[in-house]
Structure 1
Amino acid sequence: MNAPEAIASLAAVAPAYKAIFCDVWGVVHDGVAKHAAAEAALTAARRAGCHVVLLTNSPRPNEGVRRQLDGLSFSPEAYDAIVTSGDVTRRLIAETGRPLLHVGPQRDLDLFAGLAAEFVDEARAEAVIVTGLHDDTTETPADYAPLLERLKRRDLPMICANPDVVVHRGERLIFCAGAIARDYERLGGRVAMAGKPHAPIYAEAQRVAGVAGPAEVLAVGDGLNTDIRGANAYGADALLIMAGVHRDELGGFDVAGEVLGAHLGGQDLAARFFMPRLV
């Protein structure tokens, strides 16, 4: 595979694209504070004519993510639209038509607003929707092993609203819904994934951006198995942000492109560009 190219700024490559699909957590904020340089870079790209879509595996609808960004004082001038895993999840829930068990925190309940879905306890559930851990500050996926074994014995299908396995919250690594879905799949459970790296969220982002296809898109992200794998499957060029969730794995900010390319290639991944942080 070709070695990814180190770039100094988004502005160096953005003019070649009509749209930027940019990850949120780990790229534009860390869950505690915004990354002001990323905000400035995306704002400049928009002013230069790029359509910026924030593409996130958040299990919330896009309006919930918008409120979170507002709370971090992230400028609405930095993006045109937000597409979330939660948006795609709502469609999957509507198509399921079964009584659902919700596994996740109370803060995710706005995901279900306006849906006709019926939410029930474990005994009556015919399907499962996972938005996260009930308490990601104290729990780990291991706490859910008994539940998953019971669900698998009944062969209940699962919808995963956030395929991310882990994210950084400040300096702390926390588990996401994807970790529970991963463990359910390992048991042989059936899982429908709503977000990156799966196709439905990219189709929605393409529709929102109004582009003809992936050749017109630069996908920006820090997650190898979500952002980069998703960009590769979709067919867009990928810009890997090194300071995100894999910052301890990728060999440091000064890694040679050939070394990084070999690391990615070993996982059947490829990136067109890389940089320490989005600037």
Structure 2
Amino acid sequence: MTQIIHALSEISDRYKALFVDLWGCVHNGITAYPDAVAALQAYRQAGGLVVLVTNSPKPRAGVAEQLVQFNVPRDAYDTIATSGDSARSAMFRGAVGEKIFFMGEWQRDAGFFEPLKLLHHPLNIERVPLDQAEGIVCCGPFDPMADPAVNRADFLYAKQKGMKLLCANPDIVVDRGEVREWCAGALARLYTEMGGESLYFGKPHPPIYDLARRRLTELGADISDSNILVIGDGPQTDIAGGMGEGLDSLFITGGLAAAETKTSHHPDEDALRSHNEKEKINPTYSIGRLR
């Protein structure tokens, strides 16, 4: 059974590094949670390292710029690992071909297609209409409020052509303030259900955790998995991902699962147990909000 705690400081001295989710934990898609920021600042001041591990399709530089807009201060974290960086690397290596059909919001997601300097011979990726494409790159829905089923016709065509769909953000939904929106993961799930092949690189899949560990190495840190704590509000992304990697986890119950866990300041113990059994997760710790 998960241990319900009231503050990160109760357990933080057991870990040398945190892999921290952003949306729903550190900010709500509009502005930062002050208590979460303070908790991360205190952890770093005590010598711990904070890696922000996010399913954002943006490169880490783009996420850093966004954090400034959300009032998340630079001293709240050390580095960033994004699903976008992991997926970009696969795209430029040819995971879905050179001619791709793009799904998302171009003004927001253009950074995904910036040349990847780490590769010696990246492919020359070309955005084309679906009927000319070799594969699909999905950074998100065209309309985050529309049911993913509106894409069925395009997905049926793509599946019949044998296209793979590269999913840059495995999240199914996200709450922007008080509004719940669909994410790329919902489209990838639909494509898979229809018989297509979706490729994932963010949480809960291994590539983003490999990237997060490399980010620690870039900081000069050699930290064993037993000294890393995963923090997040996504049962099937953050917590399932941490479990899959053999890492301890702290479940933020006041995010996506606030209603199911009856979280006000703290989760209801019976509701939390029922929720975790339904989701087949077993987080090491749980807390209402990161504080």
Q: Tell me which residue corresponds to 2:120.
A: none
Provide the C-alpha distance between the structure 2 equivalents of 1:258 and 1:231, rounded to a whole number of angstroms: 23
- Normalization by structure 2: what TM-score? 0.91
- Normalization by structure 1: what TM-score? 0.95
Query: Are the equivalent residues in 2 in contact too, given 1:18–1:211 (CA < 8 A)?
Result: no
Deviations 1:51-89 (A, max 9, x none): 100000000101111111001221100000011000101
Q: Tell me which residue corresponds to 1:110.
A: 111
Q: Where does the alignment leave 5 or more consecutive residues of structure 1 unmatched?
A: none
Structure-to-structure mapping, 1:86-97, within 5 angstroms: 86-96=84-94, 97=97
Aligned residue identity for 1:206: R
Aligned residue identity for 1:39: V
Q: Residue 234 of structure 1: CA displacement? A: 0.7
Residue 172 in 1 paired to residue 214 in 2? Answer: no
Pairing partner for 2:224 from 185, 191, 213: 213
Identity of aligned pairs, percent? Answer: 37
Q: Residue 241 of structure 1: CA displacement? A: 0.4
Q: Residue 211 of structure 1: CA displacement? A: 3.8
Q: Tell me which residue corresponds to 1:34.
A: 32
Provide the C-alpha distance between the structure 2 equivalents of 1:190 and 1:93, rounded to a whole number of angstroms: 15
Query: Are the equivalent residues in 2 in contact too, given 1:100–1:120 (CA < 8 A)?
Result: yes
Q: Tell me which residue corresponds to 1:264.
A: 276
Query: Are the equivalent residues in 1 in contact too, given 2:103–2:141 (CA < 8 A)?
Result: yes
Structure-to-structure mapping, 1:228-247, within 5 angstroms: 228-247=239-258
Aligned residue identity for 2:113: F
Q: Residue 265 of structure 1: CA displacement? A: 3.3
Residue 12 in 1 paired to residue 3 in 2? Answer: no
Q: Residue 257 of structure 1: CA displacement? A: 4.4
Query: Are the equivalent residues in 1 in contact too, given 2:53–2:80 (CA < 8 A)?
Result: yes
Pairing partner for 1:196 from 198, 203, 216: 203
Q: Residue 154 of structure 1: CA displacement? A: 1.0
Deviations 1:212-248 (A, max 9, x none): 4321110000000000000000111110001111111
Moved more, 162-171 or 9-18: 9-18
Query: Are the equivalent residues in 2 in contact too, given 1:103–1:129 (CA < 8 A)?
Result: yes
Provide the C-alpha distance between the structure 1 equivalents of 2:68 and 2:98, rounded to a whole number of angstroms: 35
Provide the C-alpha distance between the structure 1 equivalents of 2:103 and 2:231, rounded to a whole number of angstroms: 29
Q: Tell me which residue corresponds to 1:249.
A: 260
Q: Residue 119 of structure 1: CA displacement? A: 1.8
Pairing partner for 2:51 from 47, 50, 53: 53
**Secondary structure in structure 2 of the residue aligned to 1:184:** helix
Q: Residue 255 of structure 1: CA displacement? A: 4.1
Q: Tell me which residue corresponds to 1:44.
A: 42
Pairing partner for 1:21 from 19, 22, 32: 19
Q: Number of residue pairs matched?
A: 276
Provide the C-alpha distance between the structure 1 equivalents of 2:148 and 2:214, rounded to a whole number of angstroms: 35
Q: Tell me which residue corresponds to 2:119.
A: none
Q: Tell me which residue corresponds to 2:121.
A: none
Pairing partner for 2:73 from 61, 72, 75: 75
Moved more, 138-147 or 234-243: 138-147
Query: Are the equivalent residues in 2 in contact too, given 1:238–1:272 (CA < 8 A)?
Result: yes
Q: Residue 140 of structure 1: CA displacement? A: 2.4
**Secondary structure in structure 2 of the residue aligned to 1:245:** coil
**Secondary structure in structure 2 of the residue aligned to 1:69:** helix
